[in-house]
Homo-oligomer: A and B are copies of this chain.
Amino acid sequence: MGPAVEKAKRSAPNAVERLNGLLAEDMAAVDAIIHQHMTSPVGVIPNLAAHLIDAGGKRIRPMITLASARLLGGGGDGARKLAAAVEFIHSATLLHDDVVDVSSMRRGKKSANTIWGNSSSVLVGDFLFARSFNLMVETGDIMVLDILARAASVIAEGEVMQLAAANDAETTRERYMAIVGAKTAALFAAAAKAGAVAAGRPGAEATALESYGRELGLAFQLVDDALDYGGASATMGKNTGDDFKEGKVTLPVVFARDDGDESERAFWRRVVGEERTDDDFHRALALLKRHNAIERTLEAAREHASAAKTALRTLPTNAYNEALTEIADFVVERGY
């Protein structure tokens, strides 16, 4: 697969486009709310925020909030503000992540910390995080505030867990999945649940959508992890190798390490815990292939996507339900 195909595959996925089409009016309103709430007389704030927010993220999380609300017959201004709040929480997390990971690129552009420095990224992240709460307050709905404030502390816990596990070659599958559950899946779960609550359906339907979001988030992160090693097709994209370079233990590494012999485990201990060369990356790819680690990671992702779809089956059948089901399939297909 050439770079053009790769790009088309990553930037124009059908299920996301379809969901975006279904939510076109909502998403245009969300975009307006986002831009209206990132204004500030302090110039660097809108400049830095726009650099990230207008860089072409897929906005999958706010779409999940809106689709969840619409699936249950809700929607309107409250759900749109919540969706914008969800995107702000996500954006704040990305700004802080890039500082923590010393990342130089994000969404195909120089990262904000590369251009404006770590301090600005930390503080503008704080600003966006605060603004997400301003937006939630505007909805006047204390229940959604509860859901998203809880998610925000779980996300921070997940990030700290991930930092503590960094360069720890012995990270277990259980521990890794706990990190993913907190740093990634918690916001997907909260995004979906908040949509249901905004639609006035805080009971079983909200729980089902929360479960959908959580399982989708787990699948999403595992596929990202697989893509960081080129995915099933072993195609090297622009972000390939980032996790390896940072010495992160992700699920593919867990599989290859646990199945490896002693010399392989010594290799993983060294490249995770100490130092890595470009040659090491090629050996890592060979070991992942030997132990079928990418396929097994994608299989785990598929199971979570399947659980996500199962959760939707208890809910009303309509175009939004269908679109969210397709998203679960799309998330896994990205890996191939």
Chain A residues with CB under 8 Å of chain B are 40-45, 92, 96, 99-100, 118-120, 122-127, 129-131, 133-134, 136-137, 140, 142, 145-146, 149-150, 152-153, 155-157, 159-161, 163-164
Contacts and interface: CB of A to CB of B under 8 A. Distances in A.
A156 B130 contact: yes
Max chain B C-beta neighbours (<10 A), residue from A42, A92, A136: A42
A132 to B, nearest CB: 9
Contact of A134 (B119, B124, B153): B153
Contacts of A40: 157, 160
Given A44-B164, A99-B122, A130-B152, 4 more contacts: A44-B160, A126-B155, A126-B159, A137-B145
B127 A160 contact: yes
Contact of A160 (B118, B124, B142, B150): B124
Contacts of A163: 44, 119-120, 123
A186 to B, nearest CB: 11
Copies of this protein chain in the complex? 2
Nearest to A149: B133
A150 B134 contact: yes
A135 to B, nearest CB: 9
The binding surface of chain A is classed by DSSP as helix
User: Across chains A and B, which 4 residue pairs bring their CB atoms closest together, nearest first?
Assistant: A130-B152, A127-B156, A130-B153, A133-B149
30 contacts: A40-B157, A41-B157, A42-B157, A42-B161, A44-B160, A45-B160, A96-B122, A96-B123, A99-B122, A100-B119, A119-B163, A120-B163, A122-B122, A125-B126, A126-B129, A126-B155, A127-B157, A127-B160, A130-B149, A130-B152, A130-B156, A131-B153, A133-B133, A133-B145, A133-B152, A134-B150, A136-B149, A137-B145, A140-B142, A142-B145
Contacts of A155: 126, 130
A116 to B, nearest CB: 9
Contacts of A159: 123, 126
Given A119-B99, A129-B126, A156-B123, A149 B161 contact: no
A191 to B, nearest CB: 16
A128 B333 CA distance: 37
Max chain B C-beta neighbours (<10 A), residue from A40, A122, A159: A122
Given A99-B119, A119-B100, A149-B130, A124 B156 contact: yes
Contacts of A153: 127, 130-131, 134
A120 B160 CA distance: 7
Nearest to A40: B157
A122 B129 CA distance: 13
Contact of A149 (B41, B43, B92, B137): B137
Contacts of A126: 92, 96, 125, 129, 152, 155-156, 159
A156 B42 CA distance: 10
Nearest to A100: B119
A163 to B, nearest CB: 6
B137 A146 contact: yes
